[in-house]
Chains A and B, each alone.
Chain A
């Protein structure tokens, strides 16, 4: 059976929803970070699927851009997370609810 476009889109939607749910319900900042990555990659999957479906390379170019941005974001985000952990000895985002230590 030939893989259909809708399969890819459904998988992507599932991944994205898992990511969104994770961001909202998880309190561990690492877990939230991973969920954000999950959302980004769900979108990447959509891009690739459409690029293949429409035989258009622009979708794949977008994927490269998203991956680059995600890498930069991961660098900055992990730096912040480490700084928070050093100061608070905790990765619970709900505890970091005020803009001071």
Chain B
């Protein structure tokens, strides 16, 4: 279906960015800039909701909505258009991106009040929305890559928003360069996809004269590749999937490319909420789910994704335990939750991954905006050691953040519980596909469960340090006054204006009820017979399933006969024909109970540990983030710097390049030195030279004969 409204979704924020950049900078009126920016996103939001939810909208129909804007590249059989497509997956994404984006825009109007570069901030933020929606709504890999780079650029611009602070500039560069490493993989993946399939499109578009199959549907007919390390280099689906995953790991901050995300917190807090928690960093998950058809044919790649995801989840959670900067805690939490999403992708639970993306967007945006509200109320204090007891001063922020806290910790009813539980269950019950044995999926489940525990602990620590306990900000502010750079005296924390609290409240509501879009059957069946898993029902047609019959025979371990995971294909092939054996249901319920228990234990442990001693010293190795930055510095950055300085600069640049240029200059100088004797300025010398030339000519004629022109 062709629908030209689709382009409005992406071009409204672009127009907003242009207006703010060219007009807003002259008007310098916060009201004007804020209304333009929020209005532009509001237009996108309304159009996206209309197109996705209308009776024959993207979320209800089989065929995607298409909007062919212009033919972009057409070289031989290579065909890439500037064309948008909204199917069930990109529709779902567009909904939460526009809506959460709108809330964050509104929040930012309050948060950025009085900033010098107000117009610049909102121009970039709108530009980001444009790039992100282009990424999501692109109908081919190449346009997706344009959006992919666009969000990277906006991320760079917004992290470096405070460009007068060195750490912001450094963090921006770090984010940009780290992302380039991932993009290298993504670009190679796109090229390889084209070589293998002859297309870069996601959707068949007969109107545009596409080839018979698209880049994704090509793989439907292909056999599943073998689970061997050699498949990675074989140039087939596994190679493509691994390269695409490198791209996803860069954008979504997975090991080993996660290091940029914590530093990215140098940007303003709404940026952290929008780009580095809710939307951009989940682009990697989107890309993998979009390419799920490729991934399900590449068990090795799935295995890598699952292992990296689980490792990242646990690794980041442990670091999050020991951070003192409120935004750093949330940053590591984000990395950890992204690890969850990749774990879900790796075990084939693509819908669970998307579910967690959505709920995470709600509660993490809520937590980030809450932290922004705290920072705003505390006059730009981010260190939790100088907070405490804020509950009394910021009741709305406290209440809403508490909801976010419960949601991320996995307390039932709240959104995070359902999605996290879904991922843990899918991991537990994952067929051996892509994994050496079902025992391995149990191990991954263990990692996930441990991460859930740690998540509850560190989030409790953050809440305790911020909102409960002794009020520590007065002494520190009084103390700070003696410091030369203290620009404000002891200030009372205050609640934020309504522009900031309203988005918090909306997000808090969503964090509470958002999980009900994807209640698993095992839980809902206790109350109703209907399958209420709306999300699964919506996304099932567009997400690939692991082809039946290729589940490598699980090498069942003797001790685990009670469970039969190979009967439970992770993402079920048809929506309703999904038989829920009672055995499976009871196992899932038991695991859900277990994860509730884990969450509560985590909260309890966090409360026990930190409520009386909020400043408890955490292990140094965690506080210093396992020294990963230092290791990267020593292992990669220093050698590259040294090689560049000693090799590229001192040898190549000075020796070869400069040598070449100086050599050219010297040759010319020497020739001039010789030739200048001809130009001594003596008239008689010139006369002699003329004579000599004439004699030579005459001599030549005499010797060779006078040239005759023959007609």
Contacts and interface: CB of A to CB of B under 8 A. Distances in A.
A97 B682 contact: yes
A26 B684 CA distance: 8
B682 A93 contact: yes
B656 interface: no
B700 interface: no
Nearest to B680: A97
A32 B685 CA distance: 13
A24 B680 contact: no
B135 to A, nearest CB: 68
A98 B681 contact: yes
A69 interface: no
B688 to A, nearest CB: 5
Interface string B672-711: 0000000011111001100100000000000000000000
Contacts, number: 27
Contacts of B684: 23-27, 32, 93-94
B687 A94 contact: no
Interface string A22-54: 011111010010000000000000000000000
Contacts of A26: 684
Contacts of B691: 20, 24
A25 B688 CA distance: 9
Interface string B61-79: 0000000000000000000
Interface in A60-101: 93-94, 96-99
| Most chain A beta-carbon neighbours within 10 Å: one of B680, B681, B683, B688 | B683
A98 B691 CA distance: 22
Size category of the B interface is under 10
Nearest to B681: A97
A23 B517 CA distance: 108
Of A24, A26, A27, A29, most buried by chain B (CB within 10 Å of CB) is A24
Contacts of A96: 681, 683
B560 to A, nearest CB: 102
Nearest to A97: B681
A20 B691 CA distance: 8
Nearest to A25: B684
Contacts of A32: 683-684, 687
Contacts of A23: 684, 687
A99 B681 contact: yes
A97 B681 CA distance: 4
A12 B681 CA distance: 31
B693 to A, nearest CB: 13
A43 B688 CA distance: 19
B682 A94 contact: yes
B358 to A, nearest CB: 83
A36 B547 CA distance: 103
**Residue picked from B687, B688, B691, most chain A C-beta under 10 Å:** B687
A28 to B, nearest CB: 11
Contacts of A93: 682-684
Contacts of A29: 683
B688 A24 contact: yes
A43 to B, nearest CB: 13
Contacts of B683: 29, 32, 93-94, 96
B262 to A, nearest CB: 70
A84 to B, nearest CB: 11
B687 A24 contact: yes
Nearest to A98: B681
A83 B691 CA distance: 27
A27 B684 CA distance: 8
B681 to A, nearest CB: 3
A85 B105 CA distance: 86
A36 to B, nearest CB: 9
Contacts of A98: 681
Nearest to B684: A24
A93 B687 CA distance: 12
A34 to B, nearest CB: 14
Nearest to A20: B691
B454 to A, nearest CB: 86
A38 to B, nearest CB: 14
A101 to B, nearest CB: 13
B366 to A, nearest CB: 82
Nearest to A29: B683
Interface in B113-127: none
A44 to B, nearest CB: 18
Interface string A9-20: 000000000001
A24 B681 CA distance: 14
Contacts of B681: 96-99
A26 to B, nearest CB: 8
Contacts of A20: 691
Contacts of B688: 24
Of listed B680, B684, B688, residue having the most chain A CB within 10 A: B684
B696 to A, nearest CB: 14
B8 to A, nearest CB: 72
A31 to B, nearest CB: 11
Contacts of A99: 681
Contacts of A94: 682-684
A63 to B, nearest CB: 21
A93 B681 CA distance: 9
Interface string B467-509: 0000000000000000000000000000000000000000000
A27 B683 CA distance: 9
B626 to A, nearest CB: 75
A69 to B, nearest CB: 17
A94 B691 CA distance: 18
B246 to A, nearest CB: 68
A98 B687 CA distance: 16
Contacts of A25: 684
A23 B684 CA distance: 7
A15 B691 CA distance: 15
A16 B691 CA distance: 12
Contacts of B682: 93-94, 97
B158 to A, nearest CB: 63
Contacts of B687: 23-24, 32
Nearest to A36: B687
B683 to A, nearest CB: 4
Contacts of B680: 97
Nearest to A96: B683
A25 B683 CA distance: 11
7 contacts: A20-B691, A23-B687, A24-B688, A32-B683, A94-B684, A97-B681, A97-B682
Interface of A: 20, 23-27, 29, 32, 93-94, 96-99
Given A24-B688, A32-B683, A97-B682, 15 more contacts: A20-B691, A23-B684, A24-B691, A25-B684, A26-B684, A27-B684, A32-B687, A93-B682, A93-B683, A93-B684, A94-B682, A94-B684, A96-B683, A97-B680, A98-B681
Q: Which 5 A-B pairs have the closest CB atoms?
A: A97-B681, A93-B683, A23-B687, A97-B682, A24-B688
